[in-house]
Structures are given as C-alpha cells and as structure tokens.
Chains A and B, each alone.
Chain A
Amino acid sequence: MMRTILNSRYFIWLILAFPGFGMLSRYADGRLDAMGMLHPTGEFAVRFMIIAMLIGPLIDVFGQRRWLRWLLARRRWIGFAAFIYAVAHLVFYIVDMGALAEMLAEFTEHGIWTGWAAMVLMALPGLASNDAAMRALGRGWKRVQQFAYPAAVLSIAHWGLLTWEWTPALVHIAPLLLFNLLRIVKRVSPNRVVASQ
C-alpha cells in the first residue's frame, strides 16, 4: 500500500505542488500581495531546480541507492516543477509591475536581466521535460538539459543582486557545487585509477 502511494505520480506531484498551495492560499486571502509572492515562488523555483540537478552528482558520489533511484525516476517532474514556480514568479512580477513600459525601463538592471536570462535558459529544459521532446531531440536532449547549469547560477546572481542577501542564495547552490566537486574528485581519485588498470 505504502509503496503504491510512494510510486504514484500523483504523490510526487502533490509534494511538488504543496508549497504552491500555501502561497496561493496566502495570496487569495490577502496575506501576501503580488510583490510578496515574488520571494517564495523564486525560492522554490531555485530549490527544485537544485534538487533536480543534484540527483546525478549524488548518484556518482553515493552509488545507486534506492532513494536516489526513486528521485532519479522523478527528476523530470522535479525540474518541471522548478520551471512552473519560475513561471509563477514571472507572472507575479508582471502583476506587480502592472505595465510593460515599467518592466522595460528596468530590464537592463543587473538584478533584473539576470532573472530574465535565467528564465529563458530554464524554459528550454523545462519545456523539453516530456517524452515527445526527448524523442524529438534525441541525443541533443541531454545538451538542452545542461542549460539548467547557467540558469541556476544566473538565478543565484538574480537573487543576490536584488536582495543583497548572498548567504541564503549561496547556501542554495552550495550543495550543487560541493557534490559536483566530489564527483570530480571521485573520478580522478587514485583508487579509481588503480581499479581501472
């Protein structure tokens, strides 16, 4: 029974949507306005993006653990959820600004264009996170997914430049840096060289 629930796609969808329900309920009853929605939507876009990107390095470091295989099978949904939260972030930004002219007037600010660039780079893997796109892109699909890396870095830059609060922004990307570093160390470690000889 428990396994059926855990393996149900609705279960992971519910988990991924859960923070959004909380945000939307606070928006609906007026506790948060459009400006107030910007931070939580952006934060969860980054969180889910980092989680999706961490799965590969975690498997390289820890091996094929059961919980990692479970996550791996759902990685596309996690990445897609990140994209949906990013879209929500953009929608609330548009609502908050209220006019295209206002958005264009600040487009060149570093804190803003980094967000737009991250959004565009994230949209590519986000929109390609389905079977049809996988089939259509073939070997190029993996290359498209790699746009998530510059998207993650630009998202962190966007966050830090806007809020001046670099610590929480860098804390989010730190696991990705750490496990990519460990992945490299593991690949070039002497044990591995000996084992491969």
Chain B
Amino acid sequence: MKKTSLVLAASMAFALSLPGTAMAHGKINCGGGPREGWTDVEQLKQKLLGEGWTIKKAKKVRDCYEVYGKTPEGDNVESFFHPVSLKKILVLKRGRELYRAPGY
C-alpha cells in the first residue's frame, strides 16, 4: 500500500513537472463576436490551401474557427483563426504552442 502511494505520488510529481503543464482552461478567446457576422469558413479554407496548408477539418469552436491540418512546414496542428478577419490566432502542435498572435 505504501509502495502504491509512493508510485502514485512520484508519478504525479513527474507529470506536473512536464513543460507546458500550466493549468490553462480552454484554449483561446478569438473575440469573434456574433456568428451572423462571421466570414464563410470556405474562404478560410481557400486562404489556407493557397498558403500550402492541408486541411483535415475546419469548424466553429466558441468564438473561433478551429482548423485541424498540416502547415506548409509539415506540422500536424490544431489552429485557431479569427472568424471575421481570418487572422491566425493560435497554432498548437499536439498541445505545444507553435504560434500565438500578439495580444491573445
């Protein structure tokens, strides 16, 4: 029993010491405003395809467009875009931040 508790405590300490384990809740607020005013998601897809992205999935998430796909650099990412301006806000590679727009 003592050994079990020690294993559990040591594992917890190890997991919490991993980089990037800050207690974040949710991912990002894009400040997209009412959905009636959003730019069509197809425009975002076309823009990204033009830049060399591969798109797996694009959907509305809270006040952002969320896109799963591959960047021109070849990273599989989850990314967030402003739904009106289509500005890139946040790009995550399996939870690791690759890009965050200033001010977000």
Taking Cβ atoms with an 8 Å cutoff, the residues of A that contact B are 33, 35, 60, 97, 102, 105-106, 109-112, 114, 146, 149-150, 152-154, 156-157, 160-167, 176-177, 180, 183-184, 187
Known pairs A180-B4, A187-B1; A109 contacts B93 (CB<8 A): yes
Q: Is the CB of B94 within 8 A of A109?
A: yes
Contact partners of A184 in chain B: CB under 8 A:
1, 5
User: B49: CB under 8 A from chain A?
Assistant: no
28 sampled A-B residue pairs with Cβ under 8 A: A35-B56, A60-B1, A106-B93, A106-B94, A110-B20, A114-B15, A146-B7, A149-B7, A149-B8, A152-B11, A153-B11, A153-B14, A157-B18, A160-B21, A161-B20, A161-B94, A162-B94, A162-B95, A164-B95, A165-B26, A166-B23, A166-B25, A176-B8, A180-B5, A183-B1, A183-B5, A184-B1, A184-B5
Contact partners of A146 in chain B: CB under 8 A:
3-4, 7
Q: Is the CB of A154 within 8 A of B15?
A: yes
Q: Is the CB of A35 within 8 A of B4?
A: no
Q: Using a CB-CB cutoff of 8 Å, which residues 56-104 of chain B contact chain A? A: 56-57, 68, 74, 76, 93-96
Q: Is the CB of B95 within 8 A of A111?
A: yes
Contact partners of A156 in chain B: CB under 8 A:
15
Contact partners of B21 in chain A: CB under 8 A:
157, 160-161, 166
